[in-house]
Amino acid sequence: MTNNLKDFLEACEQLGTLRLIVTSSAAVLEVRGKIQKLFYAELPKGKYANMHSEIFEFHLNMDEIKQVKFETGEAKRGNFTTYAIRFLDGEEKVTLSAFLQWGKPGEYEPGQVEAWQNLKEKYGEVWQPAPVESLE
């Protein structure tokens, strides 16, 4: 199976509401939203997946993502399982985290955990995306 990041991101639409997290050396940005209505652009820096919503814009250089990991963990506040997808660069640094977003602690949207588990089963706990050849 040769899956690329474009195919994977489109499959992530079924995950429902996510908490997207980007961390730099000086800041953390977290936003709640759904991955939907993606569009693509090829720029000199790489092939980008883009999304615009009312409260944020999302731009991911797919050429820079070399590994994707599925992780479960324990919530920092509360006693419940968290579900994350980590996008790593060539240096194995996390460039983006996408957590299933809960309403009340531990209460996920109907079918959300099952969708995450199905993606993990399809792609594997850790996988290297094939290069995106075409944005069409």
Query: What is the CATH number for 88?
Result: 3.40.1570.10
Strands 17-23 and 94-100: antiparallel
In a domain, 132, yes or no: no
pLDDT tens, position by position, 94-132: 999 999 999 888 899 999 999 999 999 999 999 999 888
Q: What CA dihedral angle connects 91, 92, 96 and 97, to 10 degrees?
A: -170
pTM of the model: 0.92
In a domain, 109, yes or no: yes
Q: How confident is the model at residue 79 (pLDDT cuts 50, 70, 90)?
A: confident
Q: Give the pLDDT confidence score for residue 2 in this predicted structure.
A: 60
In a domain, 135, yes or no: no
Beta strand ranges found along 35-125 (DSSP E): 39-43, 46-52, 57-61, 67-74, 81-88, 94-100
In a domain, 117, yes or no: yes
Q: Of 30-34, 52-56, 125-129, which range is least confident? A: 52-56
In a domain, 136, yes or no: no
User: Per the structure, how many domains does the chain have?
Assistant: 1
In a domain, 99, yes or no: yes
Examine the pLDDT at 58 and tell me if it is beyond 60: yes
In a domain, 133, yes or no: no
Query: What is the span of the domain harbouring residue 108?
Result: 5-127
In a domain, 74, yes or no: yes
Q: How confident is the model at residue 41 (pLDDT cuts 50, 70, 90)?
A: very high
